[in-house]
């Protein structure tokens, strides 16, 4: 191959490259327009689904309130208290009216962050009769021109910019590769030796390995998601089944519920409430939005209070408890959150202890070190790094027939996230067959 031939090859490649670049520009523009259009459709669809969900939610809320209370009295105060349970990502307003088609008046209203934009009125049906209406306004995705038009345009512009940058990099890579190829061909023709092997095959092998890692991780995440849904469904199934069976029996018999049956229903609603509370607080803590109401309090007194409360179940099994270390450890934090942290740790220790539960308080470099220990069967080494993961319940232990795989697996996850919310950390030390020690380090004071 002569120099003229290689120069011709370069010129031809340059012409083809120009056409290719123009095609890439056209594709980038089309992709930007398509992306903006898709984003707008998605936003409008999400807004519509969110509005419908909110309307059904608050209508069901009003129906349940009237069924439980016999009317709308006190609804305004209850609505203000319960407004937070609706999704934290949405600005909404709710109006509830009492009356029928001929005459109705507003009896309750709550608003969070949004301006009233109107909505359809859904009837509150009790026994086949309209007793009121609910009206919901949602602005979670906004009704403004900014959200509906500017965001899709900005998204399309971003895609276009990315496409042009990618095109520029590809062109540079192609030019460099072309120049290397031309030089290698010239060298080959002049010296009659083999061309060096490009490293592209090695890079492709590395890329395939990364893709395999991503696929494995995706499979693991899917397994965790499936297990999580199954665990939550399992926890909800029992209380709901008990409540439904009790209520069905009462409806069929036509007799009022006995006090013991009411107590069962009350216990099951408390169980569901605790589950919802734990999930909500854990989500807030993991996102860094857990509200903390801080004050000075005695950690020692709080630990003694929790031990005294939870020791009754342990005493029935002959389990002793003790508190050691600082006689009066004081810290600045949210006493309620720290109490929940202690309840989870001490309750876990009593469940697995053979004969003794110990709470130790120590001061370490401006922080309080709380250690809760039990002399139970311990935790296997491969499980130690996962005990604080949400929904991880461990495996059934061989000793004593009591595994750490009970409950929904939220207790220790809450311990870690509450500790981190206070600027601290949680850890575990254990050898299988020798008990376990959970160590929580909390700063004495952190604003």
Q: How many helices (H) and strands (E) does the chain have?
A: 9, 11
CA distance 33 to 44: 17
CB 309 within 8 A of CB 445: no
What is the structure's pLDDT at 301?
A: 93
Question: 207-221, 356-370, 378-392 — which is least confidently predicted?
Answer: 207-221
Going by pLDDT thresholds of 50, 70 and 90, the confidence category of residue 6 is very low
Determine the average pLDDT of the residues in 100-125: 79
| Model pLDDT, residue 431 | 84
Element (H, E) at 359: strand 356-364
Structure tokens belonging to residue 38: 């898709």
Q: How many C-alpha atoms does 127 have within 13 Å on its Cβ side?
A: 4
Eight-state DSSP code of residue 445: B
Cα 240 from Cα 103, distance rounded (Å):
38
Percent of the chain with pLDDT over 70: 67
pLDDT, mean over the chain? 76
Among 146-150, 154-158, 375-379, 413-417, the minimum mean pLDDT is found in 146-150
Highest mean pLDDT among 38-42, 325-329, 345-349, 382-386: 345-349
pLDDT tens digits, one per residue of 170-189: 667 666 665 665 565 556 54
pLDDT of residue 152: 60
Q: How far apart are CA 129 and CA 100, in angstroms?
A: 9
Whether residue 123 has pLDDT greater than 80: yes
Measured distance CA(139)–CA(233) in Å, rounded: 31
C-alpha to C-alpha distance for 352 and 355, rounded to whole angstroms: 9
User: According to the model, what pLDDT value does residue 176 have?
Assistant: 65
- pLDDT at residue 402 tops 70: no
Domains assigned to the chain: 1-196 (no CATH), 222-287 (1.10.287), 294-443 (3.30.565.10)
Q: Name the pLDDT band for 400 (thresholds 50, 70, 90).
A: very low
pTM for the structure as a whole:
0.46
Of 175, 188, 201, nearest to 1 by C-alpha is 188
pLDDT value, residue 401 = 40
Two tokens, residue 353: 């202890």
pLDDT for 48: 78
Q: Please say if the pLDDT value at position 420 is more than 90.
A: yes
Whether the predicted pLDDT of 94 surpasses 60: yes
Mean pLDDT value across residues 405-430? 85
- 305 phi and psi, to 5 degrees? -65, -45
């Amino acid at each position: 191959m002569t120099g003229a031939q290689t120069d011709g090859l370069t010129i031809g490649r340059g012409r083809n490259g120009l056409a290719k670049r123009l095609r890439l520009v056209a594709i980038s523009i089309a992709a930007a327009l398509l992306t903006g259009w898709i984003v707008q459709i998605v936003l409008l669809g999400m807004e519509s689904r969110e509005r419908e969900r909110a309307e059904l939610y608050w209508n069901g809320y009003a129906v349940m309130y009237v069924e439980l209370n016999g009317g709308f009295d006190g609804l305004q105060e209850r609505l203000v208290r319960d407004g937070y349970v609706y999704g934290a990502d949405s600005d909404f307003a709710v109006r509830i009216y009492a009356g029928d088609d001929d005459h109705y008046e507003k009896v309750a209203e709550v608003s969070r962050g949004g301006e009233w934009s109107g909505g359809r009125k859904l009837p509150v049906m009790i026994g086949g009769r309209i007793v009121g209406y609910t009206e919901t306004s949602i602005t979670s995705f906004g009704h403004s021109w900014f959200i509906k038009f500017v965001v899709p345009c900005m998204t399309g512009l971003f895609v276009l910019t990315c496409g042009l940058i990618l095109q520029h990099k590809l062109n540079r890579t192609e030019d460099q590769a072309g120049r290397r190829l031309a030089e290698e061909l010239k060298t080959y023709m002049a010296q009659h030796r083999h061309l060096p092997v490009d490293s592209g095959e090695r890079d492709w092998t590395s890329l395939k390995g990364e893709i395999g890692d991503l696929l494995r991780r995706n499979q693991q995440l899917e397994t965790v998601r499936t297990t999580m849904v199954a665990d939550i469904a399992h926890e909800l199934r029992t209380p709901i089944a008990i409540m439904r069976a009790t209520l069905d029996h009462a409806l069929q018999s036509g007799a009022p519920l006995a006090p013991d049956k009411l107590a069962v229903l009350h216990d099951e609603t408390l169980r569901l409430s605790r589950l919802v509370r734990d999930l909500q607080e854990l989500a807030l803590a993991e996102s860094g939005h857990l509200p903390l109401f801080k004050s000075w309090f005695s950690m020692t007194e709080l630990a003694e209070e929790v031990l005294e409360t939870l020791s009754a179940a342990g005493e029935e099994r002959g389990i002793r408890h003790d508190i050691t270390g600082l006689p009066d450890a004081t810290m600045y934090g949210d006493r309620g959150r720290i109490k929940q942290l202690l309840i989870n740790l001490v309750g876990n220790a009593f469940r697995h202890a053979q004969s003794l539960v110990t709470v130790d308080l120590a001061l370490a470099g401006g922080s309080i070190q709380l250690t809760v220990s039990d002399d139970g069967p311990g935790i296997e080494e491969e499980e130690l790094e996962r005990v604080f993961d949400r929904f991880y319940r461990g495996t059934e232990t061989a000793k004593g027939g009591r595994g750490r795989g009970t409950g929904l697996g939220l207790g220790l996850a809450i311990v870690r996230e509450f500790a981190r919310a206070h600027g601290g950390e949680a850890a575990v030390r254990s050898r299988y067959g020798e008990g376990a020690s959970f160590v929580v380090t909390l700063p004495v004071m952190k604003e």
